[in-house]
Chain A
Amino acid sequence: MAETIQMPKLGFDMAEGTLVRWVKKVGDPINKGDVIAEIETDKATIEIETTASGTILKHLVNEGDVVPVGADIALVGEPGEAAEGAAPAARPAPEAASEPAPVEAPAATPAQPAVAVQVKAGDGRLPSGVKASPLARRIARDKGLDLSQIPGSGPGGRIVRRDVESFTPMQAPPAPPKAAPVPAAPPAAGPVAPPSFGPLPAGPDVEAVPTSKLRARIGRRMVEAKQQVPHFYVTTEMDVEALLNLRQQLNASLEEGAAKISVNDMIVKATALTLRKFPNLNSHFYGDQIVRHKRIHIGIAVALEDGLINVVARDADRTALGTMAAQNKDMVARAREGKVKPEDIEGATFTISNLGPYEVDQFIAIINPPEAGILAIGAAKQVPVVRPDGTIGVGWRMKVTISVDHRISDGAEAARFLQEMKKLIENPMSLLI
């Protein structure tokens, strides 16, 4: 009897994915756990492992197809078995929402914070790829439901009234956006308003490139952040001479083959240790509730060829520098190859963006909502300094700027945070304790 393999839900907010490549061809024998295909979500390219053993009888979707979560993608059975009963490809499975994802999803990792499902205020716009009737959109807007979470049972997967009315969001934090203690988000400000600059330029002098899923996601999140989060910025300069020396000593003493500790690893550690003392900055904003995270997971912005992704150093305050260095190195490599695992990128409680390697003096970063803040790290540079004894000499300095959501915190707390972090960076032995 042939079994079907479904599009897994890889991450809470995944509604669909593009099947970019079939790794296993029709007729290939497979065992449970084999990688059979690669899926591109709006976050990353992810390998799908099969949940069944046997022989691939049929591919139910083609490479390049956009497939809703839960839809059948392949038939697996005995060699020679007829591939009958093949369900129509790309069929939305309404039950998918209530069933556990067939592939180990990040939901299973204990580190998953309760923030993964965001109940976003409907803004009247549809997330890309989502189809919904006008009535369904209105009800979703009134209830504050995110249409991208709701499976559609209408023609072509369209979300209709019954789907919205029967939908219960999982783990939704109490976040009625209307109750936000800030002026309601400007209703006209759709986060992804497509720009209207007249007709698309064409001809030999230009090249039009479709906006990738990743760019669209970044765009959506950043427009949302810049429109809705009242940012303020505080900058300080830190003496990193001791830190650089310590790093040299640590790396010199490493065993053969061990991952070298980077300046960034040490900054991540310092940030995490500082956040322990500033739980308010390790929190997420949900309107009338601010959710303080007891565990500290630091998102690290990684530049990709066509975008940006945050990998997550989990429990960074409690992870030894050597371990963290190895983990970060692996995650960054996976991110650059487009092969991140869901747990690599989910669950950050605070984020760091480090442009130091690009010889940047100083910059400011946009907060990744609902996080409270983000650190922008400049390059460590040799500069003329005034020493404590009043003489002028040469020292190593690094500028750090924190962007903070003013709804959560104020300037003084941000300043004290930097002051505390500066202490750690300038006395780096404490990073080893």
Chain B
Amino acid sequence: MTEKIITIREALSSALREEMLRDERVFIMGEEVGVWGGTYAVTRGFLDEFGARRVRDTPISEMVIAGAAVGAAMAGLRPVAEIMTINFAFVAMDAIVNHMAKVRYMFNGQFTVPMVIRTTTGGGKQLAATHSHAPEVIFAHFPGMYVAVPGTAYDAKGMLKAAIRDDNPVLFVEHSTMLQRRSPVPVDDPDFLLPIGKSDIKRTGKDVTIVTYQKGLEWSTQAAEMLAQEGIEAEIIDLRWLRPLDLEPVFESVKKTNRAVIVEESLPMFNVGAEVAAQLQEQVFDYLDAPVKRVSAMDQPLPYAANIELMALPDAQKVVKAVKEVL
């Protein structure tokens, strides 16, 4: 198998293209996905290659995008809808939570909803409080749909292809500041799929377990490098999926390190760290040698000013500090 170092943007783009070539029921809809080529240029060239019937620009209405996609999926198509940022998905909450996630259950399996909503998350670009949060954990609250949060090009490709082929609805969350990140990805395997709901050990270490995903993976990796200078070996587990949430490797890791820090960009109240910490004390209480520590954004609407926006977000230094607090 040949691997090539490509960006997350290229990984997403190639995943979409391969799946559209493979299955003609797969189509794209969303704001500016066609003529403009996508807000983040993921679907550039798709309109020319696949035509306006399979690459559909929509009105600026997230409710319409999500609602129409649910209808199309129920009718037998496999839509990949795009919502520009997850902060706008709140407008479409009813279509996503009450319809996309529940139709199969409400109709006792007479309908499946094989669709993907792609969206972006994250702050740090001075887009202010209504555009900048990372609230994907809210969607992981509901059974009936999956929530994907890839942090590398490799994962982005294999997870998006798996999401499109799965018969369950998936909210596929991409980080808006990570699209240029590069990593080796298989390029000549049209069936390169990663399993749904499997976390991944991104770095091994014996002193502390860092549980994280997406942007947190970046901060944690930088922090692990700094800690390594001081002889502290951090193990990093990338959740990759918030639902299904795969914590078995986390439990195994904490049995070894006896310490856990959870790193994420979400706000602190009721976040991923809260869930992971709760499950850790349920499953491996007798292995914990220190309280479980969380690193997240500060509990406030994200500020506009660049300097204080960065202060409100986690970074590698904050991860290092948290790790030292549990050692």
Contacting pair B290 A138 (CB below 8 A): no
Contacting pair B286 A160 (CB below 8 A): no
Q: Which of A100-140 contact B (CB under 8 A)?
A: 133-138
Bitwise, A305-342 to B at CB < 8 A (1) or not (0) is 00000000000000000000000000000000000000
Q: How far is the CB of A133 from chain B (nearest CB, A)?
A: 4
Chain B contacts for A161, CB-based, 8 A: 258, 289
Assess whether A154 is interfacial by the CB under 8 Å rule. Answer: yes
State in angstroms the CA–CA spacing of A326 and B226 once bound together. Answer: 70
Chain B contacts for A134, CB-based, 8 A: 285-289
State in angstroms the CA–CA spacing of A422 and B181 once bound together. Answer: 93
Chain B contacts for A136, CB-based, 8 A: 289
Chain B contacts for A135, CB-based, 8 A: 258, 286-289
Contacting pair A137 B286 (CB below 8 A): yes
| Count of CB-CB pairs between chains A and B under 8 Å | 23
State in angstroms the CA–CA spacing of A161 and B286 once bound together. Answer: 11
Bitwise, B5-30 to A at CB < 8 A (1) or not (0) is 00000000000000000000000000
Chain B contacts for A133, CB-based, 8 A: 258, 288-290
Q: Which of A133, A138, A154, A160 has the most CB of B within 10 A?
A: A133
Chain B contacts for A154, CB-based, 8 A: 290
Chain B binding surface SS class:
loop
State in angstroms the CA–CA spacing of A137 and B258 once bound together. Answer: 13
Give the nearest-CB partner of B286 in chain A: A138
Chain A contacts for B285, CB-based, 8 A: 134
State in angstroms the CA–CA spacing of A343 and B100 once bound together. Answer: 76
Give the nearest-CB partner of A124 in chain B: B286
Chain B interfacial residues counted at CB < 8 A: 7
Chain A contacts for B258, CB-based, 8 A: 133, 135, 161
Chain A contacts for B286, CB-based, 8 A: 134-135, 137-138
Q: Which of B245-304 contact A (CB under 8 A)?
A: 258, 285-290
State in angstroms the CA–CA spacing of A137 and B289 once bound together. Answer: 9
Give the nearest-CB partner of B254 in chain A: A135
Chain A binding surface SS class:
helix
State in angstroms the CA–CA spacing of A138 and B285 once bound together. Answer: 10
Chain A contacts for B290, CB-based, 8 A: 133, 154, 160
Q: Which of A139-198 contact B (CB under 8 A)?
A: 154, 160-161
State in angstroms the CA–CA spacing of A134 and B286 once bound together. Answer: 5
Give the nearest-CB partner of A136 in chain B: B289
Q: How far is the CB of A132 from chain B (nearest CB, A)?
A: 10
State in angstroms the CA–CA spacing of A114 and B40 once bound together. Answer: 77
Q: How far is the CB of B48 from chain A (nearest CB, A)?
A: 60
Give the nearest-CB partner of A135 in chain B: B289
Q: How far is the CB of A157 from chain B (nearest CB, A)?
A: 14
Q: How far is the CB of A267 from chain B (nearest CB, A)?
A: 50
Q: How far is the CB of B285 from chain A (nearest CB, A)?
A: 5
Q: Which of B287, B288, B289 has the most CB of A within 10 A?
A: B289
Chain A contacts for B288, CB-based, 8 A: 133-135
State in angstroms the CA–CA spacing of A160 and B258 once bound together. Answer: 10
Q: Which of B172-220 contact A (CB under 8 A)?
A: none
State in angstroms the CA–CA spacing of A133 and B286 once bound together. Answer: 8
State in angstroms the CA–CA spacing of A161 and B285 once bound together. Answer: 14
Q: How far is the CB of B286 from chain A (nearest CB, A)?
A: 4
Chain B contacts for A137, CB-based, 8 A: 286
Give the nearest-CB partner of B291 in chain A: A133
Q: How far is the CB of B254 from chain A (nearest CB, A)?
A: 10
State in angstroms the CA–CA spacing of A138 and B255 once bound together. Answer: 12
Give the nearest-CB partner of A158 in chain B: B290
State in angstroms the CA–CA spacing of A154 and B291 once bound together. Answer: 11
State in angstroms the CA–CA spacing of A317 and B289 once bound together. Answer: 51
Give the nearest-CB partner of A159 in chain B: B289
Chain A contacts for B289, CB-based, 8 A: 133-136, 160-161
State in angstroms the CA–CA spacing of A134 and B287 once bound together. Answer: 6
State in angstroms the CA–CA spacing of A161 and B258 once bound together. Answer: 9
Give the nearest-CB partner of B287 in chain A: A135
Chain A contacts for B287, CB-based, 8 A: 134-135, 138
State in angstroms the CA–CA spacing of A136 and B290 once bound together. Answer: 10
Bitwise, A364-404 to B at CB < 8 A (1) or not (0) is 00000000000000000000000000000000000000000
State in angstroms the CA–CA spacing of A154 and B325 once bound together. Answer: 10
Give the nearest-CB partner of B288 in chain A: A134
State in angstroms the CA–CA spacing of A134 and B280 once bound together. Answer: 12
State in angstroms the CA–CA spacing of A42 and B32 once bound together. Answer: 74
Q: How far is the CB of A7 from chain B (nearest CB, A)?
A: 26
Q: How far is the CB of B59 from chain A (nearest CB, A)?
A: 55
State in angstroms the CA–CA spacing of A138 and B290 once bound together. Answer: 13
Q: How far is the CB of B279 from chain A (nearest CB, A)?
A: 15
State in angstroms the CA–CA spacing of A83 and B288 once bound together. Answer: 39
Give the nearest-CB partner of A162 in chain B: B289
State in angstroms the CA–CA spacing of A161 and B256 once bound together. Answer: 12
Q: How far is the CB of B135 from chain A (nearest CB, A)?
A: 32
State in angstroms the CA–CA spacing of A161 and B290 once bound together. Answer: 9
State in angstroms the CA–CA spacing of A160 and B286 once bound together. Answer: 12
Q: How far is the CB of B256 from chain A (nearest CB, A)?
A: 12
State in angstroms the CA–CA spacing of A281 and B124 once bound together. Answer: 77
State in angstroms the CA–CA spacing of A134 and B46 once bound together. Answer: 56
State in angstroms the CA–CA spacing of A160 and B288 once bound together. Answer: 9
State in angstroms the CA–CA spacing of A161 and B288 once bound together. Answer: 9
Taking Cβ atoms with an 8 Å cutoff, the residues of B that contact A are 258, 285-290
**The 8 nearest A-B residue pairs measured at CB:** A135-B289, A138-B286, A133-B289, A134-B288, A161-B289, A134-B285, A160-B289, A134-B286
Extra inter-chain contacts (6) besides given A133-B289, A135-B289, A161-B258, CB under 8 Å: A134-B288, A134-B289, A135-B288, A138-B287, A160-B289, A160-B290
- The 7 sampled A-B contact pairs (Cβ below 8 Å) are A134-B287, A135-B258, A136-B289, A137-B286, A160-B289, A160-B290, A161-B289
